[in-house]
């Protein structure tokens, strides 16, 4: 049995999902579906594309046109789908490693084109599917199976990265504040251009255990306590910001959208025939 | 009849447009770049889409994404770029998404000889992506044949729901020749078979009685199905090891079992030949010229030219091996297709190789010497 | 499966086969309505429930929701 929401938008026969107990991926997936529901989108016109990793398994559970691609390449495939059929609402579900390591190049170029795709990164700071290796968003000093003495790498701020690359809607929310996350995702979908929503979530199995972060509940509690709305963040001192992160809808910018521009190009050749 | 002077790479785009190409994604690389440039000029004129992606990997991904919405899609590249395509080429194979991948070959490995011809990607075309799979690769030897084979590559990709590789030689890609553009009744255009059942009844990867491949619905037409690079069952959803054998076997068999339809080849002066040269692409043109001279001198030599290089025309090569004393595989590499010919023909006749790696075409006089040596030595 | 608990106009349903017992709904319920029993969520004190839906909002397994089956 399932809730009305699950019955309407999920492939119920594929549940329960493969994610570990307490994994935040389910919470974020539900927020995406709620956002789609709130916008009243036609399921036939929604295409959900993912790469490889824990989060990228989400599309298999969702009753839309779904495309589970290769590691890091979701945005490449999604760009093809959106270019070919701009009337489709294209949503990319990806992880921190999938989007910013192996898929980092595709991410910045999708931002640069401002192609009308909404990307939701499930950021759990770790490679979960392969068993807990450090990712580009693992905080410096934290542990992973490939960072046994602590991660030496500096970690990405994905929202700053995508801002620099040219995305026209950027927000960061959390699995704890799932209602707010849903709102950000809905705003992202409505934005005509490349929208980037970073969803901070928790991997209790690998990141949590390796870094002694406690249970799934403890980790979600930490997310709740560490997330600071951008307005409040601006008033915090450097010292007060330690161990915390900023959430909010950071950036909205009106600028030309790629498929619209291409449509104009095609139209310029049809003028003589009208 | 329309007659035009056309470059090989241009003929590739013209053929693709004739076949119904509506989407191209690519990345600049010598010696294939004209294919992207001409596609960029022509596609928007016919309501199609061109996009220059950030790399070869994403070009291949975009092509598959576009094809899933129903557009005939193509990408073109060369050597190092072809290496990068392999990841998503495998995805196209397992998820059965039609598309055309052109590789205008150049010398390798790595950056190699960027502006010189080579035929060194024969085995990469077959085995470049990981795992067991069947491959369709076509290898034209003239500008007109590039035109025709590009159309055929689209047709085969639509019919067999698989990426089709078009192997071109730099020297033909960049050569201008007179070509007669075929009339509509001279060419066949094949489109993928779409489902006629209701979305509720649709199983995205079920092969219906009498069909070779599953019916393919366009994304956004009410058939909400799942596409994955994981091993999947007939519904398209991940299915694990128990379904792997059946799936991979089906993907291989749909091509191997239809070789009679897929394989095309040319036989030249083989009826009474003692020696057969096996050659393809530009090398086959040198071979043909050599054979003409040798015949003038009384040497009984002919040529077998695979136009479909993968799957190889096994039946024909085996038949040939039973009637000639020797087969010489002449190719601009260190003996890649030789391995395949020797596998098929080696038990019946002597199979030798003649190749080179210096980025220069093999001229007829060298082939003449090789044949004479075989006769007299 | 799935069990619906009803008190007056309020009801709550749990799909036991999907619940993985993470305890998130239990921990973040503002009225302490839920408990884990044998690692599965149970609606214990529905009379205290204010139907805020936070359990449903944060259940990673879509295993608990307001309302009936």
pLDDT tens across B105-149, in order?
999 999 999 999 999 999 999 999 999 999 999 999 999 999 999
- The pLDDT tens digits of the residues spanning A24-63 come to 999 999 999 999 999 999 999 999 999 999 999 999 999 9
Which residue shows structure tokens 């991926």?
A25
Taking CB atoms and an 8 Å cutoff, what residues of chain A touch C13? 1, 3
Phi, psi for A170 (deg, rounded to 5): -140, 130
Q: Which residues, including other chains, have CB under 8 Å from residue B127's CB and lie 6 or more apart?
A: none
B256 part of a folded domain: no
Half-sphere exposure of A19 (CA within 13 A, CB side): 34
Best A2, A3, A23, A37 residue to mutate vs chain C (most C CBs within 10 Å): A3
Q: Is A102 on the interface with B (CB under 8 A)?
A: no
| Euclidean distance between CA atoms B364 and B368, whole angstroms | 6
Which residue shows structure tokens 């979960």?
A128
Vertex B231: Cα angle to B225 and B235 (nearest 5):
30
Which residue among B151, B186, B221 closes a domain?
B186
Q: Which helix (H) or strand (E) holds B52?
A: strand B49-52
A142 in Cβ contact with A211 (< 8 Å): yes
Q: Is C48 on the interface with A (CB under 8 A)?
A: no
- The dihedral through the CA atoms of A247, A248, A250, A253 has a sign that is positive
- C-alpha distances in Å from residue B132, one per residue of A70, B90, B135: 17, 10, 10
Report how far Cα A203 is from the mean position of its chain's Cα atoms.
Answer: 15
Q: Cβ of A178 and C57 within 8 Å? A: yes
Task: For residue A96, give how far its alpha carbon lies from the nearest alpha carbon of chain C (Å).
Answer: 19
Q: Cβ of C22 and A26 within 8 Å? A: no
Number of domains into which chain C is organized: 1
| Euclidean distance between CA atoms A21 and A130, whole angstroms | 17
Q: A113: burial class by Cβ within 10 Å (0-12, 13-18, 19+)? A: buried
B297 part of a folded domain: yes
**Mean predicted confidence (pLDDT) in C43-65:** 97
Q: Examine the pLDDT at A273 and tell me if it is beyond 80.
A: no
B282 part of a folded domain: yes
Q: Examine the pLDDT at A271 and tell me if it is beyond 90.
A: no
Q: Which residues, including other chains, have CB under 8 Å from residue A238's CB and lie 6 or more apart?
A: none
Residue range of the domain that includes B62: 2-186
| Euclidean distance between CA atoms B49 and B119, whole angstroms | 31
CA nearest B164: which of B104, B100, B213, B105?
B100
Task: For residue A23, give how far its alpha carbon lies from the nearest alpha carbon of chain C (Å).
Answer: 7
| B169 and B24 within one domain | yes
| B164 and B279 within one domain | no
Quick one: tokens of A227?
Answer: 């997330």
Please, what are the domains in chain A? Answer: 21-229+238-260 (3.40.50.970)
Please report, in tens digits, the pLDDT of each residue of chain B (377 residues total). Answer: 899 999 999 999 999 999 999 999 999 999 999 999 999 999 999 999 999 999 999 999 999 999 999 999 999 999 999 999 999 999 999 999 999 999 999 999 999 999 999 999 999 999 999 999 999 999 999 999 999 999 999 999 999 999 999 999 999 999 999 999 999 999 999 999 999 999 999 999 999 999 999 999 999 999 999 999 999 999 999 998 999 999 999 999 999 999 999 999 999 999 999 999 999 999 999 999 999 999 999 999 999 999 999 999 999 999 999 999 999 999 999 999 999 999 999 999 999 999 999 999 999 999 999 999 999 87
A236 in Cβ contact with A228 (< 8 Å): yes
Dihedral of the alpha carbons of A12, A117, B55, A130, in degrees to the nearest 10: -40
| B160 and B284 within one domain | no
Exposure string of B81-120, with b = 16+ CB inside 10 Å and e = fewer, is bbbbbbbbbbbbbbbbbbbbbbbbbbbbeeebbbebbbbb
| Euclidean distance between CA atoms A198 and A158, whole angstroms | 7
In this structure, what CATH number is given to the domain that contains residue B327?
A: 3.40.50.920
Q: Are B and C close enough to touch, i.e. 3+ CB pairs under 8 angstroms?
A: no
**What interface predicted TM-score (ipTM) does this complex get?**
0.97
Number of domains into which chain B is organized: 2
Q: Cβ of A83 and B49 within 8 Å? A: yes
Q: Are C and A close enough to touch, i.e. 3+ CB pairs under 8 angstroms?
A: yes
Quick one: tokens of A79?
Answer: 């760009």
B347 part of a folded domain: yes
Q: Cβ of A109 and B73 within 8 Å? A: no
| B146 and B45 within one domain | yes
- All chains having 3 or more CB pairs closer than 8 angstroms to chain C: A
Half-sphere exposure of A51 (CA within 13 A, CB side): 28
In this structure, what CATH number is given to the domain that contains residue C50?
A: 3.30.70.20
| B182 and B316 within one domain | no
- C-alpha distances in Å from residue B272, one per residue of B175, B325, B374: 33, 11, 17
Q: Is C30 on the interface with A (CB under 8 A)?
A: no
CA nearest C63: which of C46, C32, C39?
C39
What is the rounded radius of gyration, in angstroms, for the C-alpha atoms of chain A?
A: 19
Per-residue model confidence (pLDDT) at position A240 = 97
Q: Cβ of A27 and C58 within 8 Å? A: yes
Which residue among B186, B206, B226 closes a domain?
B186
- The pLDDT tens digits of the residues spanning A139-192 come to 999 999 999 999 999 999 999 999 999 999 999 999 999 999 999 999 999 999
Which residue shows structure tokens 């992202």?
A188
Question: How many other C-beta atoms can be found within 10 angstroms of the C-beta atom of residue B289?
Answer: 15
Taking CB atoms and an 8 Å cutoff, what residues of chain B touch A88? 69, 219-220
Taking CB atoms and an 8 Å cutoff, what residues of chain B touch A68? 226-230
Q: Which helix (H) or strand (E) holds B102?
A: strand B99-105
| Euclidean distance between CA atoms A153 and A142, whole angstroms | 10
| B138 and B286 within one domain | no
Residue range of the domain that includes C33: 3-66
| Euclidean distance between CA atoms B148 and B12, whole angstroms | 8
Q: Cβ of B220 and A87 within 8 Å? A: yes
A147 in Cβ contact with A211 (< 8 Å): no
DSSP state, residue A29: H
C15 in Cβ contact with C30 (< 8 Å): no
Per-residue model confidence (pLDDT) at position B249 = 98
A179 → chain C, closest CA residue: C57
| Euclidean distance between CA atoms A39 and A6, whole angstroms | 16
Q: What distance separates the 2 farthest-apart alpha carbons in chain C?
A: 28
| Euclidean distance between CA atoms A162 and A167, whole angstroms | 6
Question: In this prediction, what percent of chain C has a pLDDT beyond 70?
Answer: 99
CA nearest B354: which of B326, B332, B339?
B332
Per-residue model confidence (pLDDT) at position A272 = 62
- The pLDDT tens digits of the residues spanning A59-81 come to 999 999 999 999 999 999 999 99
Question: How many other C-beta atoms can be found within 10 angstroms of the C-beta atom of residue A42?
Answer: 11
Q: Examine the pLDDT at A239 and tell me if it is beyond 90.
A: yes
B210 part of a folded domain: no
Per-residue model confidence (pLDDT) at position C1 = 77
B113 part of a folded domain: yes
């Amino acid at each position: 049995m399932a809730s009305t929401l699950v019955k309407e938008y999920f492939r119920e026969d594929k549940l329960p999902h493969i994610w570990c107990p307490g994994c935040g991926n389910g919470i974020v997936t539900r927020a995406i579906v709620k956002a789609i529901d709130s916008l009243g989108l036609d399921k036939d016109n929604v295409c959900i594309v993912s790469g490889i990793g824990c989060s990228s398994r989400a599309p298999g559970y969702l009753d839309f046109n779904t495309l589970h691609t290769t590691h890091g390449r979701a945005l490449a495939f999604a760009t093809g789908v959106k270019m070919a059929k701009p009337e489709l609402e294209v949503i990319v579900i990806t992880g921190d490693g999938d989007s910013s390591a192996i898929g980092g190049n595709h991410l910045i170029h999708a931002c640069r084109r401002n192609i009308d795709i909404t990307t939701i990164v499930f950021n759990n700071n770790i490679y979960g599917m392969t068993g807990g290796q450090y990712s580009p968003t693992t905080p410096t000093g934290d542990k992973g199976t490939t960072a046994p003495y602590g991660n030496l790498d500096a970690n990405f701020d994905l929202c700053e990265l995508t801002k620099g690359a040219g995305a026209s809607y950027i927000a960061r929310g959390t699995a704890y504040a799932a209602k707010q996350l849903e709102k950000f995702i809905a705003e992202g979908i409505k934005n005509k251009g490349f929208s980037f929503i970073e969803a901070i979530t928790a991997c209790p199995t690998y990141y949590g255990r390796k870094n002694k972060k406690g249970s799934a509940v403890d980790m979600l509690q930490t997310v709740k306590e560490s997330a600071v709305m951008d307005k409040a963040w601006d008033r915090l001192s450097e010292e007060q910001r330690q161990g915390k992160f900023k959430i909010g809808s950071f950036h909205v910018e009106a600028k030309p959208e790629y498929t619209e521009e291409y449509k104009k190009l095609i139209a310029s050749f049809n003028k003589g025939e009208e | 009849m329309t007659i035009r002077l056309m470059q090989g790479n241009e003929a590739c785009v013209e053929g693709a447009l004739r076949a119904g190409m509506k989407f191209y994604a690519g990345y600049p690389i010598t010696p294939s770049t004209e294919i992207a440039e001409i596609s960029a000029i022509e596609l928007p004129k016919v309501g199609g889409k061109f996009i220059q992606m950030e790399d070869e990997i994403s070009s291949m991904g975009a092509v598959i994404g576009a094809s899933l919405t129903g557009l005939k899609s193509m990408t073109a590249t060369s050597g190092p770029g072809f290496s990068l395509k392999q990841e998503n080429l495998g995805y196209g194979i397992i998820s059965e998404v039609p598309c055309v991948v052109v590789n205008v070959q150049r010398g390798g490995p790595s950056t190699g000889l960027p502006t010189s011809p080579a035929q060194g990607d024969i085995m990469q075309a077959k085995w470049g992506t990981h795992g067991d799979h069947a491959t369709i690769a076509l290898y034209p030897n003239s500008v007109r044949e590039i035109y025709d084979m590009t159309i055929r590559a689209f047709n085969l990709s639509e019919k067999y729901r698989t990426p089709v590789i078009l192997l071109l030689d730099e020297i033909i890609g960049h050569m201008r020749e007179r070509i007669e553009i075929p009339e509509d009744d001279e060419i066949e255009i094949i489109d993928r078979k779409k489902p006629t059942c209701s979305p509720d009844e649709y199983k995205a990867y079920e092969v219906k009685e009498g069909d070779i491949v599953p019916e393919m619905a366009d994304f956004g037409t009410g058939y909400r199905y799942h596409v994955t690079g994981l091993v999947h069952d007939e519904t398209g959803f991940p299915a694990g090891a128990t379904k792997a054998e059946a799936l991979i076997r089906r993907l291989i068999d749909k091509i191997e079992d239809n070789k009679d339809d897929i394989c095309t080849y040319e036989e030249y002066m083989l009826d009474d030949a003692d020696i057969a040269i096996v050659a393809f692409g530009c090398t086959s043109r040198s071979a043909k010229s050599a054979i003409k001279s040798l015949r003038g001198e009384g040497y009984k030599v002919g040529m077998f030219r695979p136009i479909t290089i993968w799957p190889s025309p096994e039946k024909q090569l085996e038949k040939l091996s039973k009637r000639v004393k020797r087969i010489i595989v002449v190719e601009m590499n260190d003996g890649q297709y030789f391995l395949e010919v020797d596998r098929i023909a080696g038990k019946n006749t002597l199979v030798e190789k003649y190749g080179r790696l210096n980025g220069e075409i093999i001229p007829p006089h060298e082939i003449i010497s090789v044949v004479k040596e075989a006769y007299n030595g | 499966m799935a069990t619906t608990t009803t008190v007056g106009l309020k009801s709550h349903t749990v799909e036991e086969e999907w619940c993985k017992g993470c305890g998130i709904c239990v921990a973040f319920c503002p009225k302490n309505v839920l408990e884990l029993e044998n690692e599965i969520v149970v609606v214990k004190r529905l009379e205290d429930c204010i139907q805020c839906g936070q359990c449903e909002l944060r259940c990673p397994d879509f295993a608990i929701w307001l309302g009936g089956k």
